Amino acid sequence: MNPYEPENQKIRFLSEIAIHILDENPRVKLPRFFFACEQILGGSDSMMLALSSAKARKTGKDVLIDAGIAVFSDLLPGGDNTFSFIAEKVKDLHRDKKQLSVIEPLKNRNPEKLKEMLHRLFFQDIKDAGFFPSLSSPFVIFLDDFERFIRPSGLEASEKDTRWLSEFMCALPNILWVIVGRDEINWDAYVGNENRPIDISLEAFKKPEYVQEFFDHYSQVTSMPSIKPELAEYIWELTKGIPLYLQICLESYDNAENKEEISKEIFGKDIQMLLDRFYNNYTAEQKNAMSFLCCLPDEWTENMAFLLFARIKDKDRYGLLFNQSTFDTLTPTSAFTHEGLTYRIHEAVRRSVLQSAKPFEKEKRLKAILDAQVEYAEQLEDHQFWQKAFVFRENVCRCWDIWAETHEGAREIIAEAKMSCGNNLIKRADFEIETNTLACEYLKDAIALLKTTKGEDSWEVLEALDQLAFASFISNHPIETILNECIRLIKTYHSKEWIRSAEYVYDLWASVDTPDGVLIQFLEEILGSHDESKMTSQTLEIVSGIKAWHEKQKMYEDSAFWEAEKEAAKEFESDNLRAQSDAQSQYSEFLLERDSHAADYSEEECKYLEKLISTLGFQYMSTEATDVADTLYLIYKNQNHGRDDEKTVGVLLQIADILEREPDIGSDLIDYRQRIYDILTSGEEWTVRFGIGRAVLELARLKERCEEIEESLKYYRELLEHFQEYQEDLDDTTIDELETKVQELEDLMGPF
């Protein structure tokens, strides 16, 4: 089940609140809610996507749903830590006996019933946790575009569909609900008279008098003449009180030289003329810049705009101009809205600007911007900056909103972009279920587009299905439907291309390795009617692979084989447990001999402890409510008496080296490397013995792995500047390698 379909909006809404509750207090348990979500969505992976998306868009401790509940479908990049955080909460269901006992009565409920009572289960979890009553101030839940929730498909929702929200609003204590909508809300359908909220009407200039007041207020602020009443009435008729158009009228009024003689002609007779005249008030430089910015998909940043401009300006034949002063004068105008670092241009303004542009010029510029983003994404991926590259890959997909109406080849470009997004996620996922699940969504979209543009009979569709099968296999999602579709397409369209078909299915089998042998059977069907003497070396290799598979199957069916395997596994486990037990005893004795809160550990003891812990492994240490780094950090704190010295730096280096073994880069590792750098560059005489250059190099590489290009570049430049001083600490790193690295990162940084 797709968690982003309109019928699943209840899950998305409650999931977002769950995210903020867990962020406020990680000890809160929501066993009923998480179990029900797993059952409704058919597994925790889909739910993880919904939860991670909510977390990615978090703007504060209060819940802010700023895109409308019913359209909560866009996944933003960069939520890997959140994925693991929420996934751990879900795993708690199967590890915590108390939580298992709580969900036991729900196990016989069908998914539809669980979906119906989901909000009650959520409330019961919150009530048991005592979360809301314990808060010192109200928990604020802000619902924007409320009418989009009650009419997700343009139709009025039934009472049954919205009754749960009424119950939820009335049940939870200590919550301040702020609900915003364009249409008047029938509160009786939701909360009844006893819980009726304070209704604040923000009428959007519904009367001409409001327009007059708006201009009068501006007149008082600027000490300029106000607008005439008959003109205010005309502006109201023209704009219908819509804020964007009203603001454009105000700007047109502001730009007029003789405000006392102003007439309605400066606004135009309709909205299109109003927009045209608003655009004509821009300077030539501003118009030029607008023709470029209107080609960017929404939510672009200043850095992104200048980076793309720098990459297309030399190829643009139409005199494209864009500079900081023009940008600074454009963005405060009514055409733009911005939140944080991101900007968007009002769609009405964008459409007007692009319609007035010459079709050939517009198409060339759009194509140049697309190509620049693809090229930049490829450069980022070459340096394994997967998350940054994904932003630009996704931007190419979002350019569909601009291209679709004017460019016939847009579908093919978007299909390729969707494939690239999926492949990017697969390459960076490192077998993470959540990231591969998101990759599947992009690949499914790409396949749907490819079928309409290339046709079902194209090999591009089969190649995309191969990628989808791999991503689904890694995500532990069922792949039978995908494999059956591959087989159907080959049988229907490619039966005569038996060699290529066999090679394709063999590669597919190598990727997903299904135990049921369905692909092997199909391979035998393809190759069965052909003489081996007519086969290529590749197809002969496939025949050998099939024979080897059958031999393995016979071996697996042999009970003696399995008995031998069990004995070998038991012996290995016994040896491993014995080693763990010995190490555990040594570790316990070590801690008993030393007062871990006061002892001054020697360098030899630190090395012994590190070796001992590495024998135990991370799993044992976590069982003891600590880990290697925490244990060594305890040593560090015991040795640090207000300042660092050679001993404490030695322990910090051990901690950092141990954390480097972790597959994921954590914030702790960055903090330790940064602390080591700060200490060793403090200028004290003893620090030179630790190899300052090595500390700088490790920090530069770590920042690069974290895709912090600017920070990484800063430290690589430092290495280059002090190369003679640091050279003996850098092993085989040469000045040429550093110069190349600095140049590559500078190219990726762009103009900023």
Cα separation, 167 vs 67, in Å, equals: 23
Tell me which residue has tokens 């991503």.
471
* Neighbouring residues of 144: CB distance < 8 A, sequence distance ≥ 6: 65, 66, 67, 68, 180
Q: What is the pTM of this model?
A: 0.63
User: Hey, what amino acid is at 726?
Assistant: Y
Tell me which residue has tokens 């959540």.
434
Cα separation, 618 vs 695, in Å, equals: 25
Helix (H/G/I), strand (E/B), else coil: 395? helix
Q: Which whole-number Å values give the CA distances from 516 to 483, 521, 549, in the listed order? A: 12, 9, 12
> Please, are residues 289 and 327 in contact by the beta-carbon 8 Å criterion?
yes
Q: 8, 27, 187, 220: which is closest to 114 by C-alpha? A: 8
For the beta carbon of residue 358, count every other beta carbon within 10 angstroms.
11
Cα separation, 112 vs 228, in Å, equals: 61
> Please, are residues 449 and 61 in contact by the beta-carbon 8 Å criterion?
no
pLDDT at position 249, please?
85
Cα separation, 111 vs 151, in Å, equals: 24
Q: Which whole-number Å values give the CA distances from 616 to 574, 584, 669, in the listed order? A: 15, 7, 21
Cα separation, 465 vs 440, in Å, equals: 10
Cα separation, 604 vs 542, in Å, equals: 57
Query: What angle in degrees, to the nearest 10, is found between the helix axes of 284-293 and 359-382?
Result: 60
Burial of 257 (0-12, 13-18, 19+ CB in 10 A): exposed
pLDDT at position 742, please?
92
What is the residue-wise DSSP string for 687-744?
GGGG-HHHHHHHHHHHHHHTT-HHHHHHHHHHHHHTHHHHGGGSTT--HHHHHHHHHH
Please name every residue paired with 301 in a beta bridge, in sequence order, or none if there are none. Answer: 342
Q: What is the DSSP letter of 7?
A: G
pLDDT at position 574, please?
64
- Measured over all CA atoms, what is the biggest interatomic distance in the chain, rounded to whole angstroms? 102
- Taking the chain (752 residues) in runs of 10, the rounded mean pLDDT of each run is 47 78 79 79 43 37 30 29 43 62 81 83 83 70 65 46 72 75 61 59 63 80 79 82 81 78 79 83 88 87 91 80 90 85 86 80 83 91 89 85 61 86 83 80 90 91 91 79 91 90 87 75 82 78 81 69 66 61 58 47 61 52 46 69 78 79 70 88 81 90 88 92 87 89 86 52
Cα separation, 403 vs 399, in Å, equals: 6
Q: 144, 109, 176, 197: which is closest to 13 by C-alpha? A: 144
